[in-house]
A and B are shown apart, each in its own frame.
Chain A
Amino acid sequence: KAGVTQTPRYLIKTRGQQVTLSCSPISGHRSVSWYQQTPGQGLQFLFEYFSETQRNKGNFPGRFSGRQFSNSRSEMNVSTLELGDSALYLCASSLGSGNTEAFFGQGTRLTVV
């Protein structure tokens, strides 16, 4: 069974640009969560989608947004990039509502210059 796939693996963007990251969950999984990992702030929750609906959101500015498609694939978008957005972005998929294990992808390393 294929794991969680995140694309691209690496990205370099310029300040002010926008970026879209993609996450394909494990087949059959309906919940996708996104996390930002930085050396200074650690792992921080961005948002969670279940059946195309955002059901939880972390404390990030509105420049960070996401969506989930009917096939459960999810995208997150960051607009007007800042240097501080440089991070590893991790996606996790789960079967459904609570009490289920989260499986992580290998992440997308975003560098903003």
Chain B
Amino acid sequence: AQTVTQSQPEMSVQEAETVTLSCTYDTSESDYYLFWYKQPPSRQMILVIRQEAYKQQNATENRFSVNFQKAAKSFSLKISDSQLGDAAMYFCAYRRAGGATNKLIFGTGTLLAVQP
């Protein structure tokens, strides 16, 4: 069975600084997708960034980028130039590729605080 682990329950960063959130996963499959979702106090899950396992190039979305290490099964999220609006719970998630399912497996989340 696939599992996703986030070992940092809470993180804090100063506004305008950079922070990295960690995520490791376990799977025996070779093709899959990895995601970072943000859940602000409004509770709505918002997709931050997505990575296809078959792509070696790390995904980037504006101030958000990932460090995808397939062999190490590691998928960290880097937030650059942190803003107050980045404060939220961040979830790492895994999904099988190609199969007839959209089921996401989530980590336990990291609560990010941004200090002014």
Q: A residues within 8 Å of B by Cβ?
A: 31, 33, 35, 42-43, 45, 48, 50, 55-56, 88, 90, 92, 94, 97-107, 109
Which of B57-105 touch A at CB < 8 Å?
91, 95-105
17 contacting pairs across A/B (C-beta < 8 A): A31-B102, A33-B103, A35-B104, A35-B106, A42-B108, A42-B109, A43-B109, A50-B100, A90-B43, A90-B45, A92-B102, A98-B100, A101-B50, A102-B104, A103-B47, A104-B37, A105-B44
CB distance from A21 to the nearest CB of B (A): 14
Partner of B97, one of A45, A48, A88, A99: A99
Using a Cβ–Cβ cut-off of 8 Å, how many residues does chain B contribute to the interface with A? 25
Which B residues are in CB contact (< 8 Å) with A92? Answer: 45, 102, 104
B28 within 8 A of A: no
Which A residues are in CB contact (< 8 Å) with B30? Answer: none
Which B residues are in CB contact (< 8 Å) with A105? Answer: 44
B42 within 8 A of A: yes
Which of B30-46 touch A at CB < 8 Å?
33, 37, 42-46
